[in-house]
């Protein structure tokens, strides 16, 4: 390969746009580009690939990438919602369907999964990830990689995964997108890196370096994370692509003196392919000629890229034909989308068994700006989603009950609407209704990239709308669609039930109709703690203890003085220190009881295993799924450990009155953490263990690990 051809492989462009021009065709023949993202239609991509294979000097295929974050034309719930299903097998199926549709359209590579741990709901991109926990995040990351890539990367329904954003992006200061992150290395390794490691172990083909500055070194120029951890420790042999312009953004960070310096530092750190910006094309030759850049690093990057293209089978695959319409939105895809939307929804409140509603109801009033908004229902990052294919709650409820029994009034034009002009029609819609179902939350444009929020309340006049409807005396049920945890105590106090549906995707309407009327029972569990108010942020379950931890009875002004510090503990004066809804929380239409925690052994020798079991009984009158969760706490260690850590979960289906034993196996390796020498160790000592319904409750036991 010539140096120009090598640099071409290291360059990714958006220049194809919506069509393939003669200029682009000439550049492909010359080997100018190795990859395109957001490139034309299927016909354009096929022609570009034909030129690359048949008319370029070396016949190296192009790699087409696309942001397929939670579905292609069949849109699944946002990833934060998918994680709330606690069902990795179902999430894997959804990723496979996304890959199948994407591959049919001539695209080989998705910039997903996003596995950033996020503890700040103000950050808009929390919608794209799996929440705050590294154990659950790891399980979901691996599931998505398996789903996208299939059993073989060169399979007809497989695409390459790109694990992003490597690394620490979810810890952006103040929840402001693209912002600085400061993460001690122990925390980086024990929390933020773990889902990336799981994705690598699942066989992820590519990684994406992040926008953020990590501990003073931008992630796209960070040798510690890219070379030491990813290449040397994890033995990753795929390639790393930068995020959009993140190489030259190192200039704005104050880390690179100019475009040449940015290219040098990115390549030396281990960024193999530059997305969109062209600093590699402009500077690699001169950097090598002046002796600043070792040509061997360029060869290494090109090998990494070609290795992935070979594994995808792109050298051998024929240029694809135009896809049939049946390749998209197939019945099995829609069925999985509906099931995942139903499993993702989390029941947060259900006073007096307000839900499910009876199908014999004479009339239901449907109110709210998100009840019939197809675009908003899909959520952020749905470049290829089809609004016409979306089945909204209004449409689904009319189909279920008949149009005559469903009265609909949006009340507001959008979630941000501050006008009260639609309130009267909304109140009128409740006339003669037995129940009112409110569809509230935040519209599509309020979450996702560059969509951080300083306040987490329901935007616009939604609270006022609920207040007006509460005056009717009708029983109110709130369904909240959102891309993040929100704070809504005033609304919660006025409604009988709250069902949190995230942005549920194409089949959200039928899924929610089945939940509201009892054809399905809610089983989702939160994967991010919900704050009581934005002033509590960050609030997350797996925090460290303090020297003065608060007690459950404390609220208000401390009673003591500095000389007699009664109630001088780590808390706020004006809000409870606990979250509104804890990690792992979720109600059902039945009740579950956990009893009889048992441990297979007392002392566990280093290298050994412990079996932890408990009885879970369905004590209600309906069959349903429950997600049983296993947590541990290391009571004394050389580095302080979280008050609880998730170490296992199981989804179990129980009939009314049924009791089942749930069993978890813990090895001493599962208890490991990084010490101050960055060694992964398990230390002997005392541990607590819980099996329960969420991170705040459960049956507790204890055990000791011995040398």
Residues 47, 115: one domain? no
Largest Cα–Cα separation, the chain: 83
Same domain, 112 and 154: yes
> Mind listing the pLDDT tens digit for each residue in 403-456?
999 999 999 999 999 999 999 999 999 999 999 999 999 999 999 999 999 999
> Measuring CA to CA, which residue among 208, 92, 100 is closest to residue 159?
100
Does 567 reside within a domain? no
Same domain, 58 and 130: no
Residue 546 lies in a domain: no
Question: Which among 488, 516, 544 is the end of a domain?
Answer: 516
Asked if residues 179 and 200 have their Cβ atoms less than 8 Å apart, the reply is no
- Is 229 within a domain? yes
* Helix/strand/coil percentages in the chain, nearest 5: 35, 20, 45
Q: Do residues 106 and 50 share a domain?
A: no
Q: What pairing do the DSSP bridges indicate for beta strands 162-166 and 206-209?
A: parallel
**Domain containing 181 — which CATH number?**
3.20.20.300
32, 280 Cβ separation under 8 angstroms? no
Q: Let me know whether 460 and 509 are in one domain.
A: yes
- Supply the pLDDT for residue 333: 98
CATH of the domain at 610: 2.60.40.10
The answer to whether residue 537 sits within a structural domain is no
Cβ proximity of 165 and 116 under 8 Å: yes
253, 278, 311: which is the final residue of a domain?
311
Contact criterion met (CB below 8 Å) for 441 and 458:
yes
Residue 319, in any domain of the structure: no
Question: What average pLDDT is seen over the chain?
Answer: 97
**Under-70 pLDDT residues of the chain:** none
695 is in which domain, residue-wise? 592-706
384 shares its domain with 489 = yes
Residues 385 and 471 in one domain: yes
pLDDT (tens digit per residue) in 622-659: 999 999 999 999 999 999 999 999 999 999 999 999 99
Is 198 among the domain residues? yes
DSSP 577-599: SS-SB-TT--B-SS-EEEEEEEE
Let me know whether 602 and 661 are in one domain: yes
3-state DSSP assignment of residue 703 = strand
3-state SS string for 302-348: HHHHHHHHHHCCCCCCCCCCCCCHHHCCCHHHHHHHHHHHHHHCEEE
Residue 500 and residue 615 in one domain: no
pLDDT of residue 557: 87
**Tally of domains in the chain:** 4
CA torsion through residues 558, 562, 565, 569, sign: positive
177 shares a domain with 137 = yes
Instruction: Assess whether 289 and 432 both reside in one domain.
Output: no
148 and 168: one domain? yes
23 three-class SS = helix
Q: Which residues are catalytic?
A: 243
Token pair of 559, please? 């009673």
**For the whole prediction, is pTM greater than 0.95?**
yes
């Amino acid at each position: 390969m010539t140096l120009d051809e090598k640099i071409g492989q290291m360059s990714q462009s958006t220049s194809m746009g919506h069509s393939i021009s003669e200029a682009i065709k000439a550049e492909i023949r010359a080997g100018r580009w190795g990859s395109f993202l957001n490139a034309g239609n299927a016909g354009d991509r096929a022609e570009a690939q034909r030129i690359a294979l048949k008319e370029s000097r070396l016949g190296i295929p192009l790699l087409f990438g696309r942001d397929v974050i939670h579905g292609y034309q069949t849109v699944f719930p946002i990833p934060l919602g998918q994680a709330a299903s606690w069902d990795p097998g179902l999430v894997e199926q959804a990723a496979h369907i996304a890959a199948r549709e994407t591959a049919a359209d001539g695209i080989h590579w998705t910039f997903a999964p996003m596995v950033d741990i996020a503890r700040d709901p103000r950050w808009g991109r929390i919608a794209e990830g799996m929440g705050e926990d590294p154990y659950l995040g790891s399980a979901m990351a691996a599931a998505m990689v398996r789903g996208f890539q299939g059993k073989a990367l060169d399979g007809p329904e497989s695409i390459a995964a790109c694990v992003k954003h490597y690394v620490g992006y979810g810890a952006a200061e103040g929840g402001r997108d693209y912002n600085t992150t400061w993460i001690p290395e122990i925390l980086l390794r024990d929390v933020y890196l773990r889902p990336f490691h799981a994705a690598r172990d699942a066989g992820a083909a590519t990684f994406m370096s992040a926008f953020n500055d990590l501990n003073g070194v931008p992630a796209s120029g960070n040798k510690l994370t890219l070379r030491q951890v990813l290449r040397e420790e994890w033995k990753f042999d795929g390639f790393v692509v930068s995020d959009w312009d993140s190489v030259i953004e190192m200039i704005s960070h104050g880390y690179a003196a100019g475009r040449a310096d940015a290219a040098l530092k990115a390549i030396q750190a281990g960024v193999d392919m530059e997305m969109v910006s062209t600093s590699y094309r402009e500077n690699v030759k001169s950097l090598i000629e002046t002796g600043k850049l070792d040509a061997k690093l360029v060869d290494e990057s090109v090998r990494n890229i070609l290795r992935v293209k070979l594994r995808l089978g792109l050298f051998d695959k024929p240029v694809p034909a135009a896809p049939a319409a049946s390749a998209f939105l197939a019945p099995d895809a829609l069925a999985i989308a509906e099931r995942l939307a139903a499993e993702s929804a989390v029941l947060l409140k259900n006073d007096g068994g307000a839900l499910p509603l009876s199908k014999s109801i004479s009339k239901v009033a449907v109110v709210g700006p998100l009840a019939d908004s197809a675009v908003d229902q899909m959520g952020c990052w749905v470049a290829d989603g089809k609004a016409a294919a979306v089945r909204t709650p209004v449409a689904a409820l009319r189909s279920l009950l008949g149009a005559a029994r469903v009265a609909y009034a949006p009340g507001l034009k959008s979630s941000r609407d501050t006008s009260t002009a639609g309130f009267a029609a909304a109140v009128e819609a409740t006339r003669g209704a037995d129940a009112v179902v409110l569809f509230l939350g935040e519209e599509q444009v309020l979450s996702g990239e560059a969509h951080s929020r300083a306040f987490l309340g329901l935007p616009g006049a939604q609270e006022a709308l609920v207040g007006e409807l509460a005056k009717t005396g009708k029983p109110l049920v709130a369904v909240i669609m959102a891309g993040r945890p929100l704070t809504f105590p005033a609304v919660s106090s006025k409604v009988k039930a709250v069902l949190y549906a995230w942005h549920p995707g194409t089949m959200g309407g039928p899924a929610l109709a089945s939940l509201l009327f009892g054809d399905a029972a809610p089983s989702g569990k939160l994967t991010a703690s919900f704050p009581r108010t934005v002033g509590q942020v960050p609030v997350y379950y797996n925090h460290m203890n303090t020297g003065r931890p608060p007690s459950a009875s404390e609220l208000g002004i401390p009673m003591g003085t500095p000389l007699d510090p009664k109630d001088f503990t780590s808390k706020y004066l004006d809000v409870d220190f606990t979250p509104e809804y804890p990690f792992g929380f979720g109600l059902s239409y039945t009740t579950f009881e956990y009893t009889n925690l048992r441990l297979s052994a007392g002392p566990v020798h280093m290298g050994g295993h412990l079996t932890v079991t408990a009885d879970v009984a369905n004590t209600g009158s309906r069959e349903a799924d429950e997600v049983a969760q296993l947590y541990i706490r290391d009571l004394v260690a050389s580095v302080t450990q979280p008050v609880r850590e998730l170490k296992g979960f199981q989804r179990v289906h129980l009939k009314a009155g049924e009791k089942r034993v749930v069993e978890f196996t813990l090895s001493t390796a599962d208890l490991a953490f990084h010490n101050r020498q960055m060694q992964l160790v398990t230390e002997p000592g005392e541990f607590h263990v819980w099996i329960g319904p969420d991170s705040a409750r459960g049956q507790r036991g204890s055990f000791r690990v011995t040398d």
